[in-house]
Chains A and B, each alone.
Chain A
Amino acid sequence: MKLRILLADDHEIVRRGLCSLLQKHEGWEVCGEASDGREAIAMAQQLKPDVVIVDIGMPHLNGLETTRQLVQLDPNFKVIVLTITDSDQVIREALNAGARGFVLKSDAARDLVSAVEALQSKRMFFTPRVNDLVLAGFLEKGHSSARNEPPNFPILTAREREITQLLAEGKSSKEVAVLLNLSTKTVETHRSNIMRKLSLHSIRDLVVYAIKNNIIQIQMPDLVGSAGESTMA
């Protein structure tokens, strides 16, 4: 029986590239493609894939939150997170969310097949930096590991985290209500709770919080004349 893979990335050209890489592997098939986290969760519930590959920087529901919700829905979901950065914080959050694989997008052509093979063999796959961080955490804390780190925003519920992302992306309470099939009043209540719990006072504060905590990723201003780091796609 073929290994079934669900891909979630908001860039179609990246999905094409990933599909092409994965489908060269005999015995694997891409059973579905999603362009944001919410769609990925719906498709995962319907298609029951063996492996889900999620990009971190997706609109509406980012890859970390998508991973968290997928693993909560069914701990058997095996998720590989794709990311443009392997900063300590992103690594910790991916591990906390329950990801079993962590691949840098820049290395995906080299590492993604190995990552899927690892999960297929019931192992995990991480970049060398993740391994170093987990080991450092283990050594520092005796028998604990980075997985036991408290989440970065433990006080928010899953729904509040979703709403935080949507508000930080610039959506109004009414737009959030339509997207999540809630009443505007319910969204307003969530919004007040979020602001109170995080001690924030304005949407600007919320956007800053969301960027700092990898809830949203901003596109850098164009780097013409610079050799700066590029974002994916």
Chain B
Amino acid sequence: MAVRILLVDDHPVVRQGLRTLLQGCAELEVVDEASDGLEALEKVESLRPDVVVLDVTMPKMNGIEACRVIKQKSPELEVLFVTQHDSPQMMREALAAGARGYVVKSNLARDLVEAVEAVSQHREFTALTRNPRTAN
């Protein structure tokens, strides 16, 4: 069964780019998109995706806060951050909020599919600029 994914980013063009990258993989299915953290919470409730691909900086409710709420309500759901912030500190904050993965946007073409697959299997995937790594 395909991994069901919710894409959350405030820029439609970025969501389109993410969708294009994920469409190449038959085992992954984008079920919907959201443009801010609040909309993401609503769609998580109604769609029950397996993985939420989440931007950090968004209007209304940022990704870190959204991640905390999502994990409180649905601990089984996995969150993968995709962000411009190539920062170990931000990565730690994201993981502390409950995310299973953290990928910087500049590396998405290389890392996104692998990262989604990893977190969907409840494995950690973190990738700052030069050090993609997975852990069980």
Contacts and interface: CB of A to CB of B under 8 A. Distances in A.
Interface stretch (A9-17, A87-95, A140-148, A150-158): A9-17
Interface stretch (A69-77, A103-111, A128-136, A181-189): A103-111
Contacts of B106: 11-12
Interface residues of A, number: 30
Given A13-B82, A17-B16, A230-B10, 18 more contacts: A13-B14, A13-B18, A13-B108, A14-B11, A14-B17, A15-B17, A16-B17, A16-B20, A17-B18, A18-B17, A20-B16, A20-B17, A108-B12, A109-B16, A222-B85, A227-B62, A233-B14, A233-B105
Contacts of A43: none
Interface in B62-86: 62, 64-65, 82, 84-85
Contacts of A121: none
A107 to B, nearest CB: 8
Nearest to B55: A230
A105 B59 contact: no
Nearest to A10: B106
Contacts, number: 92
A105 B20 contact: no
Interface of A: 11-21, 105-106, 108-110, 219-220, 222-233
A224 B61 CA distance: 9
Contact of A16 (B55, B57, B109): B109
Contacts of B55: 230
Contacts of A14: 11, 13-14, 17
Interface in B2-60: 10-21, 55-60
B121 interface: no
B119 to A, nearest CB: 18
Nearest to B59: A227
B114 interface: no
Contact of A230 (B18, B20, B58, B65): B58
Nearest to A110: B12
Contact of A225 (B13, B62, B108, B109): B62
B13 A109 contact: yes
B87 A222 contact: yes
Nearest to A109: B12
Interface in B82-136: 82, 84-85, 87, 90, 93, 105-106, 108-109
A214 to B, nearest CB: 19
Nearest to A18: B13
A109 B75 CA distance: 33
21 contacts: A12-B109, A13-B105, A13-B108, A17-B12, A17-B16, A17-B20, A18-B16, A19-B20, A20-B20, A105-B11, A105-B13, A109-B12, A219-B84, A224-B93, A225-B62, A227-B59, A232-B11, A232-B14, A233-B11, A233-B14, A233-B84
Contacts of A15: 17
